[in-house]
């Protein structure tokens, strides 16, 4: 509710001036009473990606807490698989790795580009991968090589999820992790498909929610 109040204040509007409010994401239940409707983030991610890329057939969304792979048909979600039981491969995983490496998470992509040697990070578990990275640092392994190995490890885990549902072009990657071009590149190599992204990948779900809300508002008039 505080977030909505802030947005309304910034826009110089009141809640009554908003025709329709749709809540999505993990926090959607907290807007009960303020939102006109709630919707799964899966549907919203599909909607947002299809708006930006009309030919999308596969959406790979890597957020802070989970990884989702969504099959799209005619602009709508047809099927999906997700990993929300383990942090490995998510934004949280990269946050932990960046902290151990003493770099900013935003720097991982550029640092990984400077790698000159293959370093394997075999553990998919966050705790074990953290131990691997600490061991590599203790052995004097270059941070850039470790980061490149982390990117390949994440891509390997995500590609496994992708193959469970099947990958068809166009492939679109959304979520904050899509800002890391090192992971986008590593996943492209793993999948053998070009991956499309946008500069504001983390807002794709919000875009989809806004599009659904707009359609509902038009119907209500």
Task: Read off the pLDDT of residues 13-39 as tens digits, 9 standing for 90 and up.
Answer: 888 888 888 888 877 666 666 778 888
pLDDT at 139: 94
Q: Measured between alpha carbons, how far is 199 from 212 in angstroms, rounded to an integer?
A: 22
- Strand segments, DSSP code E, in 63-140 are 67-73, 76-83
The answer to the question of residue 156 being in a domain is: yes
The answer to the question of residue 164 being in a domain is: yes
pLDDT at 83: 85
- Strand segments, DSSP code E, in the chain are 22-23, 37-38, 58-62, 67-73, 76-83, 171-174, 195-196
Q: Measured between alpha carbons, how far is 83 from 54 in angstroms, rounded to an integer?
A: 26
The answer to the question of residue 136 being in a domain is: yes
For the chain, how many structural domains are there in total? 1
pLDDT at 115: 94
3-class secondary structure, 145: helix
pLDDT at 65: 86
The answer to the question of residue 4 being in a domain is: no
pTM tops 0.85? yes
Residues of the chain with pLDDT under 70: 1, 28-33, 84, 124
The answer to the question of residue 11 being in a domain is: no
- The CATH number given to whatever domain includes residue 71 is 3.30.420.40
The answer to the question of residue 44 being in a domain is: no
The answer to the question of residue 15 being in a domain is: no
- Its domain, for residue 77, covers 54-201
pLDDT at 189: 96
Q: Measured between alpha carbons, how far is 175 from 203 in angstroms, rounded to an integer?
A: 7
Sign of the torsion angle spanned by Cα atoms 58, 187, 45, 123:
positive
The answer to the question of residue 31 being in a domain is: no
- Strand segments, DSSP code E, in 35-186 are 37-38, 58-62, 67-73, 76-83, 171-174
185-201 b/e (C-beta count within 10 Å ≥ 16 → b): bbbbebbebebbbbeeb
Q: Measured between alpha carbons, how far is 210 from 218 in angstroms, rounded to an integer?
A: 12
pLDDT at 220: 79
């Amino acid at each position: 509710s505080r977030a909505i109040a802030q947005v309304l204040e910034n826009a110089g509007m009141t809640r009554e001036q908003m025709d329709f409010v749709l809540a999505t994401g993990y926090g959607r239940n907290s807007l009960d009473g303020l939102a006109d409707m709630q919707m799964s983030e899966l549907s919203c991610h599909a909607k947002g990606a299809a708006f930006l890329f009309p030919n999308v057939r596969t959406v790979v969304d890597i957020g802070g807490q989970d990884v989702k792979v969504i099959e799209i048909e005619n602009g709508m979600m047809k099927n999906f698989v997700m990993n929300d039981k383990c942090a490995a491969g998510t934004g949280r995983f990269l946050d932990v790795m960046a902290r151990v490496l003493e770099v900013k998470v935003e720097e991982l992509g550029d640092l990984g580009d400077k790698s000159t040697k293959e370093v394997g990070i075999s553990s998919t578990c966050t705790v074990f991968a953290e131990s691997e990275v600490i061991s590599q640092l203790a052995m004097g392994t270059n941070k850039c090589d470790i980061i490149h190995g982390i990117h390949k490890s994440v891509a390997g885990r995500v590609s496994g999820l992708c193959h469970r549902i099947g990958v068809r072009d166009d492939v679109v990657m959304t979520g904050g992790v899509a800002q890391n071009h090192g992971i986008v590149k590593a996943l492209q190599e793993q999948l053998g498909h070009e991956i499309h992204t946008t500069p504001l990948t983390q807002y794709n779900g919000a875009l989809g929610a806004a599009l659904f809300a707009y359609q509902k508002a038009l119907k209500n008039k």
